[in-house]
Structure 1
Amino acid sequence: MKPIFALLTRFLLLTVGLAASAVDRPNILWITSEDNSPDYLGCYGDPHGKTPTIDSLAANGILYKHAYANGAVCGPARTVLITGMYPPTFGGEHMRSQASLPSHVKIYPQYLKDAGYYVTNNSKKDYNIDQNTPGWDESSRNAHWKNRPKGKPFFAIFNSGLTHESSLHPSRHTVKPGIPLNQVRVPAYLPDTKTVRDRIASYYTRIQEMDSFVAKQLKDLEDAGLAEDTIVFYYSDHGGIMPRSKRFVYDSGTHVPLVVRFPKKWAHLSPHKPGTQTDERVGFVDFAPTILSLIGADIPVHMQGRAFLGEKTSPAPKYAHTFRARADERIDFKRGVTDGRYNYIRNYLAYLPTGQHVNYLWDNPATGEWEALFKQGKTTAAQSAFFLPAPLEELFDLEADPDEVNNLANDPKYREVLLRMREANRDHLLTTRDTGFIPEALLVEWSRGSGKTPYDIARDDLQYPLAEIMDAADALLDRGDKVLPKLTRLLGNKNPIIQYWALINCMVLKTEDEKATRRIQALTRSPIASIRIAASEHLARLGKKDPRPVLNEVLLNNSNVMARLQAINALDHVSEAYPYDQSVFRKSAAIWPSEADELTAVDWMGRYKAYDVRVMEFLESK
């Protein structure tokens, strides 16, 4: 009898322990929407925002007035969330780049799972890393906390696509306006047209639908008797929804709504009382550490954010840092810093316009209409800026200029603010070992050829002397063409990344200096595709040399899709003077599979269609 009694006692203790583990730790529910800035919600002050559910959450929870998606488009933003890291740290900033994580890094669901949680995602991933990275118990449209084993606490995400950008595309633009068109506030950077007003007004209807989605998730909790055991987060995956918001590091692209509600049982884990509206700065990079803090787990040292809730809460930083890299088929490199009052943007590829043509963005009729008005000379200076080469730096006072159309970067009165935020940006990029200075084609080439991950490459000071590279990239700041002798010397540097940034700055200057031009001519024969392409584009922009022999060779013979993408972008930039060859396009496009199933099976291929082919199709449609 004694052995049976002892066995029964152990079983009862184990059962009680499991029950206690569920009771003693909170459930956590994330409800996410897509592509909406705080501006459309009633609790954030929009008089037209009909969001009673989210408003109620805010009234009984904490509303964060300064929450930011560190990346301004879905893949990069969600990569920040899933890793608790800035993606440029490991080469994951480019849209759907499928970057390799360093071996010591797990995604946060795995840490929750290791701590005894049942973790589900319903259902969007869209990370810039392997979508099948271990972590979730289930990630699908059927994933639900209701499926958890008895006695387990849960962490669950429910994502709504109702407010996604595509809701404004013709195929999904099927709802009536949520407010009268004459009550729409049109941002100063957009033309005030019926199309623009109609799209914004209709979006309010989608916002109402999304609020109902939030209500359903909360009702499910209530019906299951779990509301008093569950901490609820509501947030959007980045800003939006009209052109010049999503994808861009303006406040309209990175500022997100964030509301967190604590039941009384877990109120001690919040530093704020219910009904608080806090100015505390929070970024997506802080979410993973915060979740681990809420459940009492250790925060891994590689996570680059901080906990803003729970037992391990730490002080808010002075700044939130944002980034833009390649967005779909268009190459770009921007970094941003905001303190909530000012927004600083560093445009590293300042020979390109902010508004490069992205097929998906132009599916919104308002974008094409805006571009047409610009070409007809019918836009204001504020509306035209999107289609003109970006300045090296932008600085905006968000209180005086919420639409960010008055660039203060060259205003002497704001010199101290500019220098302070410029320094904050540099310090952040050095601290995180930002890989963005490596052209994506070269990063792919290096990581494939050596077996080193981008994370490892970024920490190799011989291969990637970041401070020296940044000095080259920043050479034009405050100096302009006075720095040309230095750039000419850097064109001969042995490090290809330093060569590349000397080339980029020559392109920004549009220099025709004879000595620099001779060196750039020589670089069209570089063994590194990114250098050859940039050198050829610069000479073509000056009308000095036909770039097509170099660019077509890459398109026809280079197996690196990112080199091909850089080449087709360069050809697009100079296509007016150097028309493309359709036969080259046909041969180049034929290299890739045509079936969607085949495309998604290749880790470095764009989803459904190679990005370089998209640019070819755009050129052919002009």
Structure 2
Amino acid sequence: MRRPNILIVHWHDLGTHLSAYGHPVESPHSQALADQSLVFDHWFATTPLCSPARGSLWTGRYPHSNGLQGLTHRGWDYHPGERTLSHHLGDAGYHSCLIGLQHEANDPERLGFTELRTERPSWCDDVAEQAVEWIGEHAADDAPWMLTCGMTEVHRPWPESRYDPVDPATVTVPPWLPDNDLTRRDLASYEGCIRDADAALGRIIAALDDAGLAESTIVVFVTDHGSPFPRGKSTLFDPGVQTAMMLRLPEAYGIAPGRVAPLASHVDLVPTLLGLIGVAVPAAVQGVDLTPQLRGEVEQARDQVWLEKTYHGEYDPIRAIRTPQWKFVLNFEPRPLLQLPLDLEGSLTRQGMGDDHLEPRPMQELYDLTADPDEVTNLAEDPVHAEVRDRLHRQLLDFLAETGDRLLDGPIPNPDPAAA
């Protein structure tokens, strides 16, 4: 029997900022996809910045394992010999194509795609136009294919010459951001960009369905990491690492659409897709095949997710464990509470938030996510919670040792110091 096609659409910097995740944002096309999909309510990036997060998505491995611990344009790359989803699918007879954005390698040829269409800009409209054309060209292929569509959106900036902002008075300001005119204008531009990217997503899904491929294609919609606002992107707070993730399956799988509550991680995408198409998961893949969980054979596939950050614009080594109730964060270097990347440092929200985030960061953080979902109260020094802190600390150190994290041996050097 012919294996199913795979269509993956991925955005930049979205987090969960869609109507499908409870945000009052104009996003009807992603909402329509969500209504037909498994929607993961607790899907987490491994890291809160672009290249390493994407590296985990496509290798099923953690940044400290695959080598991609910082941004590719700052000298970071996969370790030699790292294999991606495209490589694994190629071994299984798939034709694979990348349209638009990738941010995992300076040489896209090493990513394993059969075909690259990356010459044109990766704006959402350009990507959608090419994807619609490609789907039409390959609708009748005998061999299965994977099409990956990478959009620049919704990364900053959001110029009004490209995206019409929504009315700032209509936006809902998250509790972890200051509610003022500057933040509202920033969010209004962000949501205007989301609206345009959402329309482009709708065009791609419509082309697939109109070609009669809905029942022979697995559809994935995902983003790299959290939303591009202070206390989001580039932090290990949930708004920095929790992401949208939707999986639409052909009816033949017998798995009904719905919400998926248990924890899941970017590293789980590769093994889950391989599991769904009946391909053995390589031993080097560190994620979990969620297929048994999705079929109802097990209640949950994992008890925790592992989070990390090493380099963004600057060296900022952090490691963390997150369970359904707790998050323990280990900061390896003294840094300010928030180390803002350049795009956030120049944002409207930054202009209106003051300088409290420049206060020194504690070396350990512990949050009770049930009682304190916004991660405001650090319990790491509370004697009442010492047992929880120490247990999670041990689990985290054991995981880092088992997976060979070099950070345990000392600071990790920048591969391109001149770019820092």
Same fold (TM over 0.5): yes
Answering whether residue 328 of structure 2 is matched by residue 344 of structure 1, we say: yes
The 5 A counterparts of 1:95-134 are 95-96=71-72, 97-103=75-81, 105-127=82-104, 131-134=108-111
Q: Specify the alignment match of 1:77 in structure 2.
A: 53
- Equivalent residues of 1:93, 1:128 under 8 A apart: no
**CA deviation string 1:159-181 (max 9, x = no partner):** 232311322xxx45764443542
1:358–1:235 CA distance, 2 compared to 1 (3 A): closer
Which residue identity is paired with 2:103? D
The 5 A counterparts of 1:476-515 are none
Q: Specify the alignment match of 2:122 in structure 1.
A: none
Which residue identity is paired with 1:347? N
- Equivalent residues of 1:337, 1:344 under 8 A apart: yes
**CA deviation string 1:376-396 (max 9, x = no partner):** xxxxxxxx2x21121011122
Which residue identity is paired with 1:191? P
Q: Specify the alignment match of 2:284 in structure 1.
A: 302
Q: Specify the alignment match of 1:57 in structure 2.
A: 33
The 5 A counterparts of 1:352-501 are 352-356=335-339, 358-370=341-353, 373-374=354-355, 384=356, 386-437=357-408, 438-441=410-413
C-alpha RMSD of matched pairs (Å): 2.5
Answering whether residue 64 of structure 2 is matched by residue 256 of structure 1, we say: no
Q: Where in structure 1 are there 5+ consecutive unaligned residues?
A: 1-19, 375-383, 445-560, 563-609, 613-622
Which residue identity is paired with 1:205? G
C-alpha separation in 1, matches of 2:315 and 2:76: 16
Which residue identity is paired with 1:45? G
Which residue identity is paired with 1:337? I
Q: Specify the alignment match of 2:273 in structure 1.
A: 291
Which residue identity is paired with 1:192? D
- Equivalent residues of 2:86, 2:112 under 8 A apart: yes
Higher helix content, 1 or 2: 1
Q: Specify the alignment match of 2:208 in structure 1.
A: 221
C-alpha separation in 2, matches of 1:44 and 1:90: 30
The offset of 1:195, in angstroms, is: 0.6
Q: Where in structure 2 are there 5+ consecutive unaligned residues?
A: 119-129
The offset of 1:133, in angstroms, is: 1.0
The 5 A counterparts of 1:553-592 are 561-562=416-417
Q: Which of the numbers 310, 313, 317 marks the counterpart of 2:302?
A: 317
1:119–1:352 CA distance, 2 compared to 1 (3 A): same
Which residue identity is paired with 2:11? S
Q: Which of the numbers 112, 134, 140 marks the counterpart of 1:135?
A: 112
Higher strand content, 1 or 2: 2
Q: Specify the alignment match of 1:611 in structure 2.
A: 419
- Equivalent residues of 1:79, 1:129 under 8 A apart: no
- Equivalent residues of 1:294, 1:310 under 8 A apart: no
Which residue identity is paired with 1:162? E
**CA deviation string 1:434-484 (max 9, x = no partner):** 12344333x75xxxxxxxxxxxxxxxxxxxxxxxxxxxxxxxxxxxxxxxx
Which SS does the other structure have where 2:108 is aligned?
Answer: coil
The 5 A counterparts of 1:172-211 are 175-181=163-169, 183-188=171-176, 190-211=177-198
Kindly indicate whether structure 1 or structure 2 has the higher relative contact order, using CA contacts under 8 Å at least 6 residues apart.
2
1:172–1:180 CA distance, 2 compared to 1 (3 A): closer
- Equivalent residues of 1:165, 1:240 under 8 A apart: no
Q: Highest Rg: 1 or 2? A: 1
**CA deviation string 1:335-370 (max 9, x = no partner):** 121113322211111x22143354333232322443
1:428–1:311 CA distance, 2 compared to 1 (3 A): closer
Which residue identity is paired with 1:611? A
Answering whether residue 12 of structure 2 is matched by residue 30 of structure 1, we say: no
C-alpha separation in 1, matches of 2:397 and 2:173: 36
- Equivalent residues of 1:251, 1:343 under 8 A apart: no
The offset of 1:432, in angstroms, is: 0.6
TM-score (norm 2): 0.87
C-alpha separation in 1, matches of 2:157 and 2:348: 11
C-alpha separation in 2, matches of 1:200 and 1:134: 34
1:312–1:163 CA distance, 2 compared to 1 (3 A): closer
Which residue identity is paired with 2:307? T
Aligned residues: 400
Q: Specify the alignment match of 2:20 in structure 1.
A: 43
Answering whether residue 152 of structure 2 is matched by residue 161 of structure 1, we say: yes
**CA deviation string 1:195-234 (max 9, x = no partner):** 1111113322222222212211111112211111111111
1:397–1:219 CA distance, 2 compared to 1 (3 A): same
- Equivalent residues of 1:66, 1:281 under 8 A apart: yes
- Equivalent residues of 2:51, 2:68 under 8 A apart: no
1:399–1:212 CA distance, 2 compared to 1 (3 A): farther
Which SS does the other structure have where 1:132 is aligned?
Answer: helix
Q: Specify the alignment match of 1:150 in structure 2.
A: 141
- Equivalent residues of 1:79, 1:128 under 8 A apart: no
| % identical aligned pairs | 28
Which SS does the other structure have where 2:311 is aligned?
Answer: coil
Which residue identity is paired with 1:56? A
C-alpha separation in 2, matches of 1:399 and 1:198: 31
Which residue identity is paired with 1:127? E
Q: Specify the alignment match of 1:447 in structure 2.
A: none
Which residue identity is paired with 1:261? R
- Equivalent residues of 2:97, 2:146 under 8 A apart: yes
1:172–1:419 CA distance, 2 compared to 1 (3 A): farther
